[in-house]
Amino acid sequence: MGVCLDRLAMCCRQGAALACLAMLVVACSATSTSSQAAPAPEVELSEGLHGPVERRALGHGPTPDEAPGQQAPQPPSNPRHSPRPIAYEVAIPMEAQRLFEATWYNESPDLTRAKAQYGDFARLAFDVIFGPIGPYNEALLYIFEPERSEGFRTFILGQGPRGWEGHYVARLGPWPSSEMLAVIFEKVGEAHLPAPILTATYLHDDVPERRSPEFPYTSVVVWDGASFVIDEALEARLRGRYEAGPIREGLRDTPAD
């Protein structure tokens, strides 16, 4: 494709990693031909957002199947003031699926329909990532591609004061989807909350002669105070930026609101 992503800190694409709970790696394309994946070194996710990648059981606080009153509500930790290093991990697949399929504390009929329509775990487009996202210190990022080229659908499940709270993010990009390449996390906006920044390839509707049918595009999902939304203004600033360094430069160059 001609787009260098060697320096982009990202999670391994779903595949053998889900079967053996592999750690995050630097390049999705660097898959091993051996039957057992080699451990990945610590990778930098961003300035202030880095740490060792660990295999970790989920389920801190009440589970989605527990009634809210069974445990005393605890306020969500704020990643801006977290005393511990911020690390992102590949979630254990069975636990990630269990939490997704359970009834969420804030689940509405619209969320239930979105989960049923788009949440097919046979169509995961990327590893499920666990770590701080938006206002949640503990959250899961799910990326699905329900059918080939239909578009990437994203859910974020965060540990709130009364249980797991789910959010469905509208389709990433208006074009037919091809492949999810990378996910990094950066603190954005006035609140400086961690936001997933997703680089994927999409398909041209009309391919001119001698032009690749695929092109890369970077999407940004931010917390707007009530839910997770796609930040179109930030996406415009990041157009043409697909590596971690240029993405950070684009974020620094974004004018303050």
Convert the pLDDT of each residue in 159-202 to its tens digit. Answer: 999 999 999 998 898 888 999 999 999 999 888 999 999 999 99
Report how far residue 206's alpha carbon sits from residue 66's, in angstroms, rounded to the nearest whole number.
51
Q: What is the pLDDT of residues 215-252, one digit of tens each?
A: 999 999 999 999 999 999 999 999 888 888 899 888 88
pLDDT at residue 26 above 50? no
Lookup: tokens for 76: 């969500």
Contact in structure between 172 and 195 (CB atoms under 8 Å) = no
Q: For residue 200, which of 150, 132, 165 has the smallest C-alpha distance?
A: 150
Domain ranges of the chain: 16-25+44-55+86-253
Q: Scanning the structure block, which residue is given the tokens 């804030």?
A: 106
Q: Which residues, at least 6 apart from 3, have a Cβ–Cβ distance to it below 8 Å? A: 216, 242
Q: What is the pLDDT of residues 124-143, one digit of tens each?
A: 999 999 999 999 999 999 99
Q: What is the pLDDT of residues 109-127, one digit of tens each?
A: 999 999 999 999 999 999 9
Q: What is the pLDDT of residues 87-102, one digit of tens each?
A: 899 999 999 999 999 9
Q: What is the pLDDT of residues 55-97, one digit of tens each?
A: 343 443 333 344 344 443 344 445 544 444 468 999 999 999 9
Cβ count within 10 A of residue 253: 9
Pairing of strands 177-188, 49-50: unpaired
CA distances from 13 to 10, 22, 31, 195 (A): 9, 10, 9, 19
Amino acid letter, 44: E
Report how far residue 191's alpha carbon sits from residue 250's, in angstroms, rounded to the nearest whole number.
18
Report how far residue 242's alpha carbon sits from residue 49's, in angstroms, rounded to the nearest whole number.
18
Report how far residue 255's alpha carbon sits from residue 257's, in angstroms, rounded to the nearest whole number.
6
Lookup: tokens for 22: 């592999």
